[in-house]
A and B are shown apart, each in its own frame.
Chain A
Amino acid sequence: MATQIIMDHSGDSRHEFNPADAAALLEAEQRFNALLWDGYTAAVRTPAGDPTVIRKFDPKAEETLFVPRFVGG
């Protein structure tokens, strides 16, 4: 199972999907694009554990984290 994690006021919301399921994959891709359209940044972890920003849906990513856009404090 792959997971999309969206940061929110409750800590985070998680959407799990089966990458082998075409319908679930399409839904995950649509969610990915909608979140990026809303200004979120998508990040995955490299095998070494370092975060990397992605701008295109990666069906092989086990965990994708969505971070809201930043503003000056």
Chain B
Amino acid sequence: MFGRLKRRCIDAARRVLGAWRRFREFGFYSDSEARGLALLKEWLTPEQLVQYRQYRHFDVTGCHTGKRYRIRYGVSMNVCELDTLGRPLVGRCFVPKDNLVAGDVMLAQKIALETNERGALQVAKTFSPRWRTIHTEV
């Protein structure tokens, strides 16, 4: 009885989440946000693009330490260092000085970590990640 109810609730939640994602993808963004996301998608690797389309985050590898970072949709407190199992370990908050849209911020963070990881970490402030660990790939 409860198992069936639970499954129905989960299905309903998934449908609502899917509808919300489609709404955000096609009808919610302003022109500038859409431009930022289009630029981001142009610069992501095919693997990162697949991951972003599926989960709205993508992983990058730091050029100096080889550590993995997860960049999720957002303009601040959206970068997280991952442990060896792909779980959020520590948050790294660094953002471009100018006021940019989410797509630009994420792309700037990707470029910083992939080309000048130490420089990015030098200015970054740490925070405790509170992200859910679902969608964690090993």
Contacts and interface: CB of A to CB of B under 8 A. Distances in A.
Nearest to B91: A73
A20 interface: no
A5 B43 CA distance: 12
A56 to B, nearest CB: 15
Interface in A13-65: 39, 41, 43, 45, 49-53, 65
Interface residues of A, number: 24
Interface residues of B, number: 37
A11 B60 CA distance: 22
Most B CB atoms within 10 A — which of A7, A45, A69? A7
Chain B facing A: main interface SS: helix
Most B CB atoms within 10 A — which of A5, A11, A41, A49? A11
Given A41-B111, A50-B114, A67-B111, A11 B94 contact: no
Contacts of B111: 41, 43, 51, 53, 65, 67
A43 B113 CA distance: 13
A53 B94 contact: no
Given A72-B94, A73-B93, A67 B39 contact: no
A65 B100 CA distance: 14
A41 B116 CA distance: 10
A6 B77 CA distance: 23
Interface of A: 5, 7-12, 39, 41, 43, 45, 49-53, 65, 67-73
6 contacts: A9-B98, A10-B35, A11-B32, A45-B43, A68-B108, A73-B124
